Chains A and B, each alone.
Chain A
Amino acid sequence: MALTGIQIFKLLPKTNCKECGHPTCLAFAMALASGKAELASCPYVSDEAKDQLAEASAPPVRPMQIGAGDRSFKIGGETVLFRHEKTFLGPPGIGVLVSTDTDEGTLAEKLKVWDTFQFERVGFNLRPELVAIKDANGDSGKFAALAKKVADESNFCLVLMSEDVGVMKAGIDASIDRKPVIYAATKDNVDDMGALAKEKGLPLAIKADDMDGLMELTGKLTGMGLKDLILDSNSRTVRRAFEDQICLRREAIMKKNRALGFPAITFPCEMADNLDKETVIASMFIAKYAGIIILSDFIGESLFPLLVERLNIYTDPQRPMTVEQGIYEINGPDENSPVCITTNFALTYFIVSAEIDASRVPSWLLIMDTEGLSVMTAWAAGKFVGDAVGIFVNKSGIFDKVKHKKLIIPGYAASISGDLEEEVKDSEVLIGPRDAAQITKFLKEFGG
């Protein structure tokens, strides 16, 4: 729950020392309230005030860092129920289950393959983050060896799965550098598991059969001083798991219930008997609120759709996605191939490049940075106008690649052609179609 500037002011030293960069403590308090300043800028604030402020201003779903190293990621921090209200902040980590039963040779092979699942898209590297290691038979030596192997041979973050505290401790000691998630504390082992998580400074997942059970455990663990908790309501049917996700998020956001204000871990791998079905269940958890999603296997056919969905659901709905400005080659163009120009709104790029691709006409596509605006909007905002586009074309280096000076512009920007011809010496500007669906026809006629 956010505090007002005045409420924050009461907790500050009120000395107006200016060391925070603001003229008065009141001004600083106002800046804090609107999120424009950090409390850390005040060197004199008391620890007690710090705690109170942190507590009051903390997001309803606790944000936390998972893992260490290259693939570490942040979950939680959410403040809304629907993405159109405010961006979803903590994309769920996607993981794969291995167990102490898994054959070692197979595992080495699989780790290598899993590592290759990385997809470049609109400047993001889409990839899964986690391997969940399950203790199948209470053998702490085996468990530790497996955790060590995964930590040594891959850079995945880890979830260690055992309810036996001794086994868990062995696993942690073998992989502590990777900052594994501990799964799970239950009502039977909560004291020891909580103490272990606290001692090692690791996030702790808790498992209980219902919300009351979860709250009892989070209450106990936060009382012990633990902060980074992850919830498993142990529902393994689709409807119940869906309702639990809605319930957890609503409790956190609508009821400000701190006892349930933590990210959730989910297990499609325990909810279906084939990977296709797991995939659709996982897609539900991406849209509706999971913090971690564990699958039984990684294959490209399943991961790619899920990673793209996650990227889409977790984009800022207020800010368009963009692609990088530059020259894109499609279908292996040469010095005579047509040159098309459009804006860097990701959707515009995807659709235009897909249509050019489908036309099979070798082409150059020039993408101009319009701050993610589509053609019409960019034109209306004065960003996709003759001289600006001309300057971009001249600097792009396209004329080192082609020996003609024909430029194809989007139909909706037809009116810039005169200015563009003026800006780009000796050029001939052709008006392309308004609708990307007509690109194939246009290019074929252009070529023929």
Chain B
Amino acid sequence: MAFEIPKIHYTGKIKEITIGAGDKTATVGGRDCYPFHLFEGNMPHEPIIAMEIWDMEPDTWPEAAIEPFKDVISDPPAWAKKCVEEYGARIIVVQLKSTDPNGEDRPVDEAADLAKKIVDAVPVPVVFWGTAINEKDEQVLKKIAEVCEGENLSLSPVEEAIHKGVGASALGYKHTVVASTPIDINLVKQLNILLGNLGVQDEHLLVDSTTGGLGYGIEYAYSVMERITQAGLTQEDDKLQIPIINNLGNEIWKCKEASLPKEEMPTMGEPGRRAILMEAVGAVCYLLAGSDILIMRHPESIKLAREMINDLMAEN
């Protein structure tokens, strides 16, 4: 008899979630085994690499990150289109950096107008990601929900402090909520329950259990995700069966080592390739920990991550 891998007995399944509406949708989840453990379960939908754009010209990006987008970087709708048309993005994530009250502090209505233009410009689902400054996020996300009614956008980060406001808007205007909590499995569960009590169905929920950069807390994020997956799949905890989204590119590219010039640390090599590989290595960690939507920045790291997904999903 042929040798068989010892199997884990799974009792649960990650919920299947579709974001976007009409002919602009993407579906994730539905997995009934640990990530890529295809010898003992199914992954009907492979994880999706989403591409991020900013709603303003980035002032802090290293040269290597700007380069692929330099022709569109001050035009968010064109930038979003380029990600889809040239790099095959299946989901666009708009980082609402312009709304930061400590930065440009773009007014709510203007931010929402731009959001609508981006949504209209691309044939794929869109995720909007605020600045984690609750008060402003609540205003901006509610307004975006309103002007993009029925698009089933994903609104993020919905922390406990604003879950009622944004949750109600998402319900009213038919969008998906990204429940965002700080690296703690119990808080993930609690916020999912609170949103459920509010009437947000699991089919309209994604989880952001916090994403750390490589060398900046990736191990905490990784282990919380493995614990969530374990609880959801083997302990029948249905509040921990929601697909997970990771805002990775943003974390990787802002850290010092992603832009440190070669002259300052020759042994770390060229900053461009270094950062691309940091993003790709981070991506592999999150994919193995159970990421369903992985938000990334650089086309080359995205290509490496996609190849890895293909290789892990390939027929044996």
A residues lining the B interface (CB < 8 Å): 82-84, 116-119, 121, 210-212, 237-240, 242-243, 246-247, 250-251, 254-255, 276-277, 279-281, 283-284, 287-288, 299-302, 304-306, 308-309, 311-313, 315, 317, 347, 350-351, 353-354, 357-358, 437-438, 441
B104 at interface by CB-CB < 8 Å: no
Q: Which of A119, A237, A242, A299 contacts B36 (CB 8 A)?
A: A242
- What residues on B are CB-neighbors of A437 within 8 Å? 102
Q: How far is the CB of A298 from chain B (nearest CB, A)?
A: 10
Cross-chain contact A247 with B5 (CB below 8 angstroms): yes
Given A238-B314, A287-B288, A300-B274, A309-B37 contact (CB < 8 Å): no
**Apart from the given pairs A280-B284, A283-B280, A317-B223, 13 other A-B contacts in the complex at a CB distance below 8 Å:** A83-B222, A84-B223, A237-B316, A242-B36, A243-B39, A246-B5, A276-B300, A277-B307, A279-B281, A304-B257, A305-B277, A305-B282, A308-B278
Cross-chain contact B285 with A239 (CB below 8 angstroms): no
- Residue of B whose beta carbon sits closest to that of A274: B304
Q: Which of B273, B274, B281, B311 contacts A309 (CB 8 A)?
A: B281
Cross-chain contact A438 with B102 (CB below 8 angstroms): yes
Given A210-B3, A276-B280, A300-B227 contact (CB < 8 Å): no
- Residue of A whose beta carbon sits closest to that of B225: A84
Cross-chain contact A242 with B312 (CB below 8 angstroms): yes
Given A119-B268, A210-B3, A308-B214, A280-B305 contact (CB < 8 Å): yes
CA distance A399 to B212 in the complex (A): 35
Q: How far is the CB of B132 from chain A (nearest CB, A)?
A: 8
Cross-chain contact A121 with B3 (CB below 8 angstroms): no
Cross-chain contact A251 with B219 (CB below 8 angstroms): no
Q: How far is the CB of A308 from chain B (nearest CB, A)?
A: 4
- Residue of A whose beta carbon sits closest to that of B131: A437
Cross-chain contact B284 with A82 (CB below 8 angstroms): no
Q: How far is the CB of B33 from chain A (nearest CB, A)?
A: 11
- What residues on A are CB-neighbors of B281 within 8 Å? 279-280, 283, 305-306, 309
- Residue of B whose beta carbon sits closest to that of A210: B3
Cross-chain contact B267 with A300 (CB below 8 angstroms): yes
Q: How far is the CB of A75 from chain B (nearest CB, A)?
A: 19
Q: Which of B5, B256, B316 contacts A250 (CB 8 A)?
A: B5
Cross-chain contact B308 with A121 (CB below 8 angstroms): no
| A/B interface sample: 15 pairs, CB < 8 A | A82-B227, A116-B266, A238-B311, A243-B37, A276-B277, A280-B277, A283-B284, A284-B308, A301-B268, A301-B273, A305-B274, A308-B214, A309-B281, A312-B215, A312-B222
B72 at interface by CB-CB < 8 Å: no
Residue interface bits B297-316, CB-to-A below 8 A is 1, else 0:
00010001101100111101
Cross-chain contact B230 with A82 (CB below 8 angstroms): yes
Cross-chain contact B257 with A238 (CB below 8 angstroms): no
Q: Which of A84, A119, A239 contacts B267 (CB 8 A)?
A: A119
Given A84-B226, A287-B285, A358-B60, A300-B268 contact (CB < 8 Å): yes
Cross-chain contact B268 with A312 (CB below 8 angstroms): no
Q: How far is the CB of A446 from chain B (nearest CB, A)?
A: 14
Closest 9 CB pairs of A and B: A300-B269, A238-B311, A301-B269, A312-B219, A305-B281, A84-B223, A301-B274, A283-B281, A247-B5
Cross-chain contact B312 with A309 (CB below 8 angstroms): no
CA distance A315 to B36 in the complex (A): 24
- What residues on A are CB-neighbors of B230 within 8 Å? 82
CA distance A284 to B308 in the complex (A): 9
Q: Which of A239, A309, A347 contacts B314 (CB 8 A)?
A: A239
CA distance A301 to B230 in the complex (A): 34
Residue interface bits B249-278, CB-to-A below 8 A is 1, else 0:
000001111000000001111100110111
Cross-chain contact A255 with B6 (CB below 8 angstroms): yes
Cross-chain contact A309 with B268 (CB below 8 angstroms): no
- What residues on B are CB-neighbors of A243 within 8 Å? 5, 37-39, 316
- Residue of A whose beta carbon sits closest to that of B212: A347
Cross-chain contact A309 with B313 (CB below 8 angstroms): no
CA distance A148 to B87 in the complex (A): 49
- Residue of B whose beta carbon sits closest to that of A213: B3
Cross-chain contact B226 with A283 (CB below 8 angstroms): no
Cross-chain contact B312 with A238 (CB below 8 angstroms): yes
Cross-chain contact A299 with B219 (CB below 8 angstroms): no
Q: How far is the CB of B316 from chain A (nearest CB, A)?
A: 6
Q: How far is the CB of A286 from chain B (nearest CB, A)?
A: 8
Q: How far is the CB of A30 from chain B (nearest CB, A)?
A: 32
Q: How far is the CB of A351 from chain B (nearest CB, A)?
A: 7
- What residues on A are CB-neighbors of B227 within 8 Å? 82, 84
Q: How far is the CB of B222 from chain A (nearest CB, A)?
A: 7
- Residue of B whose beta carbon sits closest to that of A238: B311
- What residues on A are CB-neighbors of B215 within 8 Å? 121, 308, 311-312, 350
Which residues B208-257 have CB closer than 8 A to chain A? 212, 214-220, 222-224, 226-227, 230, 254-257
Given A250-B5, A280-B284, A313-B219 contact (CB < 8 Å): yes
- What residues on B are CB-neighbors of A210 within 8 Å? 3
Cross-chain contact A299 with B6 (CB below 8 angstroms): no
- What residues on A are CB-neighbors of B304 within 8 Å? 276-277, 280
- What residues on B are CB-neighbors of A305 within 8 Å? 214, 274, 277-278, 280-282
Q: How far is the CB of A255 from chain B (nearest CB, A)?
A: 5
CA distance A176 to B162 in the complex (A): 65
Q: How far is the CB of A9 from chain B (nearest CB, A)?
A: 33
Cross-chain contact B284 with A287 (CB below 8 angstroms): yes
CA distance A213 to B226 in the complex (A): 32
Cross-chain contact A304 with B269 (CB below 8 angstroms): yes
Given A118-B267, A304-B274, A309-B223 contact (CB < 8 Å): no
Cross-chain contact A239 with B277 (CB below 8 angstroms): no
Cross-chain contact A82 with B223 (CB below 8 angstroms): yes
- What residues on A are CB-neighbors of B307 within 8 Å? 277, 280
- What residues on A are CB-neighbors of B226 within 8 Å? 82-84
Q: Which of B60, B212, B284, B316 contacts A240 (CB 8 A)?
A: B316
Cross-chain contact A301 with B60 (CB below 8 angstroms): no
Q: How far is the CB of A264 from chain B (nearest CB, A)?
A: 14
- Residue of B whose beta carbon sits closest to that of A353: B256
Q: How far is the CB of B164 from chain A (nearest CB, A)?
A: 22
- What residues on B are CB-neighbors of A279 within 8 Å? 277, 280-281
- What residues on A are CB-neighbors of B223 within 8 Å? 82-84, 317
CA distance A281 to B288 in the complex (A): 12
Cross-chain contact B38 with A239 (CB below 8 angstroms): yes
CA distance A358 to B222 in the complex (A): 26
CA distance A284 to B288 in the complex (A): 8
Q: Which of A276, A299, A309, A354 contacts B256 (CB 8 A)?
A: A354
Q: How far is the CB of B159 from chain A (nearest CB, A)?
A: 13
- What residues on B are CB-neighbors of A119 within 8 Å? 267-268
Cross-chain contact B288 with A288 (CB below 8 angstroms): yes
Cross-chain contact A239 with B316 (CB below 8 angstroms): yes
